[in-house]
Amino acid sequence: MITVIAAVAENNAIGKNNDLIWSLSADLKRFKKVTSGHYILMGRNTFESIGRPLPNRTTIIITRNKNYFKEGCLIAGSLEEAIKLAKEEKEVFIIGGAQIYKETMAKNLADR
């Protein structure tokens, strides 16, 4: 199952300058609880805004840069490749950013 998870403002904004538009403790705790133990897929800019792999999750970074490397992460050249890397996982979370969300929706790849 592929799940899109995002914090969305009333004006449909999801971030500003590669950062969350707010940081609510309860929201972050829920994100951690829901995604822990699963694969998380994200674009390179989203990963770099976080700055590290998140604990107890397998991080897949989507980038066109074939030489990109981050210790503790898997690298995929496309959204489809990232999904294939996580194919054995019961639930995979797409966590951003905007380009990855847009592509996921345009290609109808998410189950929820």
Amino acid at 71: E
pLDDT digits (tens, 9 = 90+) for 35-52: 999 999 999 999 999 999
Q: What is the CATH number of the domain that holds 70?
A: 3.40.430.10
CA quadruple 46, 51, 55, 58: dihedral positive or negative?
Answer: positive
| Mean pLDDT of the chain, nearest integer | 90
Domain that holds residue 75: 2-106
> Which letter does DSSP use for residue 50 in this model?
H
Overall domain count for the chain: 1
111 found inside a domain: no
How far is CA 101 from each of CA 4, 14, 22, 55, 81, rounded to the nearest angstrom? 8, 10, 19, 22, 15
Question: The pTM is what?
Answer: 0.89
With respect to residue 89, please indicate whether it lies within any of the assigned structural domains: yes
The label of the residue with tokens 């840069």 reads 65
Rounded CA separation 92/89 (Å): 6
Tokens representing residue 19 in the block = 């950062």
Q: What is the pLDDT of residue 77?
A: 98
* Confidence at residue 2, expressed as pLDDT on a 0 to 100 scale: 96
Is residue 74 one of the residues assigned to a domain?
yes
- The residue among 104, 43, 13 whose CA lies nearest residue 112 is 104
